[in-house]
Amino acid sequence: MNIKPLAYRMRPRSIDEIIGQEHLVGEGKIIARMVKAKQLSSMILYGPPGIGKTSIASAIAGSTKFAFRTLNAVTNNKKDMEIVVAEAKMSGKVILLLDEVHRLDKAKQDFLLPYLENGMITLIGATTSNPYHAINPAIRSRCQIFELKSLETVDLIKALERALHDEERGLGAYNTEVGLEALTHFATASNGDVRSALNALELAVISTEPDESGTIKIDVHIAEECMQKKSFSHDKDGDAHYDVLSAFQKSIRGSDVNAALHYLGRLVEAGDLVSIARRMVVIAYEDIGLANPQAGPRALAAVEAAERLGFPEARIPLANSVIELCLSPKSNTAITAIDSALSDIRSGHSGDVPDHLKDAHYKGAAELGRGIGYLYPHDYENGWVKQQYLPNKLRSKKYYKPKKSGKFEQALASVYENIEKKK
């Protein structure tokens, strides 16, 4: 039995074997063009764990036939880097994959920089941290920066199936039968980490006894044991997913913290950070709105923190924000106001812009009556003067109807009502 893990053995040998990351390695894309021209530049690959940073580096090396070495910025010392440089001097070029490149200290960095400058070493730095925040500018300025995207379930299933049928490096020598439900669980429970999914699949195959016919049958229960994660009936692309998202938003709108946390938990288990993030920001502006204007920026900050952390830690800022959204006063006046205005526009109720509001910054505007009679509000007490702004056919229309559920909108309502009285 091969002692190297399946994920290691199944690393792509050329960029044609890379699964996912089409925006970088697809036909005509930047890394594919570099490899085809054999004109590599140093680069930093960043994104969540297990989505292909090392795979892309090894595939680039395999496609170009350059020597390839892997080091870790934390655990490997300057002496290890000196060995790589010595090899580069002999062979002419070495591709160096430097994992955790954001942890590169100044001594190692100063040693490497001259060899990056003269092209003897092509650095491929791998990191889960945003390089614009975490990597020293001296390294960053000498590298192209590429963001890797999380792998979709279909990509992970493709990787698993490839490993099952590969007799040279994978599990093709075993007579296996893996159900679709089990494959899907390996793919979804790994939260986009192909390394985790492949190694769990290998554990399942080599630890399961064959049946009477000599077939190793892997069902969802075995997949659960090997992933150490229960199967969750939640298809990201199915109706159940949208039902949970709907219940999530309605629970927050209804100020039910416990229900909202329950549905958040289901979405977290499904590993769907993108949908959670989008829905939370929408909720903050649609359902809380002007009743708590800071809920929107704070929800966005929580989402950004979650995206940087990744699961499982992402659940923490998300829960903080969901609890605030639930217990905030609610107001939908902004969305109803803009939708009411859009309804008029789409129904043909718009009318001409009043002449005194039209653009007057061009020669001949005065002759056309543009801008004449416009009253500049800052010339008047409290920065307000009675003046018509809506088109004639809508001059009495009121779109905004304030609620007084939160202190901020109470203050807005007071100003709004005072202006309306003066009109």
Residue 272: give the domain boundaries.
Answer: 239-327
User: Is the pLDDT score of 165 beyond 90?
Assistant: yes
Q: Between 180-189 and 194-207, two packed helices, what is the crossing angle to 10 degrees?
A: 140
Which of 147, 179, 205 is a domain's end point? 147
Q: Give the pLDDT confidence score for residue 97 in this predicted structure.
A: 92
Q: Are residues 38 and 125 in the same domain?
A: yes
55: CATH: 3.40.50.300
Domain count, the chain: 4
pTM above 0.85, yes or no: no
From 90, 134, 133, 98, select the one nearest 116 (Cα to Cα).
Answer: 98
Is 16 a member of any domain?
no
Q: Are residues 167 and 130 in the same domain?
A: no
Q: Give the pLDDT confidence score for residue 251 in this predicted structure.
A: 94
Q: Give the pLDDT confidence score for residue 252 in this predicted structure.
A: 95
Structure tokens that stand for 99 in this block: 């994992």
Q: Indicate the pLDDT class of residue 240, thresholds 50, 70 and 90.
A: low
Highest mean pLDDT among 151-155, 336-340, 364-368: 336-340
Q: Are residues 28 and 114 in the same domain?
A: yes
Q: Are residues 50 and 130 in the same domain?
A: yes
Q: Give the pLDDT confidence score for residue 31 in this predicted structure.
A: 93
- Residue 229 or residue 87, greater confidence: 87
Whole-number percent of the chain with pLDDT over 70: 96
Quick one: average pLDDT of 263-268?
91
Is 251 a member of any domain?
yes
Q: Indicate the pLDDT class of residue 229, thresholds 50, 70 and 90.
A: low
Q: Give the pLDDT confidence score for residue 231 in this predicted structure.
A: 52
Q: Are residues 394 and 310 in the same domain?
A: no
Quick one: average pLDDT of 246-267?
92
Q: Are residues 247 and 296 in the same domain?
A: yes
10 Å CB burial of residue 101 (0-12, 13-18, 19+) is: buried
User: Is the pLDDT score of 299 beyond 70?
Assistant: yes
Q: Cα–Cα distance between 328 and 45 in angstroms, integer?
A: 40
Is 337 a member of any domain?
no
HEC string of 31-69? HHHHHHHCCCCCEEEECCCCCCHHHHHHHHHHHHCCEEE
Is 341 a member of any domain?
no
- Residue 252 or residue 138, greater confidence: 252
What confidence tens digit (pLDDT) does each residue in 45-58 have? 998 888 888 888 88
Is 291 a member of any domain?
yes
* Segment among 65-69, 96-100, 190-194, 311-315 with least mean pLDDT: 190-194
Contacts of 397 (CB under 8 A, 6+ apart): 344, 390
* Segment among 105-109, 190-194, 330-334, 401-405 with least mean pLDDT: 190-194
299: CATH: 1.20.272.10
Q: Are residues 31 and 141 in the same domain?
A: yes
Is 343 a member of any domain?
no
Q: Cα–Cα distance between 22 and 339 in angstroms, integer?
A: 38
Q: Which residue has the tokens 């764990």?
A: 49
* Segment among 14-28, 91-105, 274-288, 353-367 with least mean pLDDT: 353-367
* Segment among 21-25, 143-147, 337-341, 386-390 with least mean pLDDT: 386-390
User: Is the pLDDT score of 364 beyond 50?
Assistant: yes
Give 177's strand partners: 217
Q: What angle do CA 326, 320, 127 make, to 5 degrees?
A: 140
User: Is the pLDDT score of 233 beyond 50?
Assistant: no
Q: Indicate the pLDDT class of residue 259, thresholds 50, 70 and 90.
A: very high
Q: Are residues 160 and 121 in the same domain?
A: no
* Long-range contact set of residues 391-400: C-beta below 8 Å, sequence gap at least 24: 391/350, 391/351, 391/352, 391/353, 391/354, 392/351, 392/352, 392/354, 393/349, 393/350, 393/351, 394/344, 394/349, 394/350, 394/351, 397/344, 399/337, 399/338, 399/340, 399/341, 400/333, 400/337
Q: Are residues 47 and 123 in the same domain?
A: yes
Q: Indicate the pLDDT class of residue 279, thresholds 50, 70 and 90.
A: very high
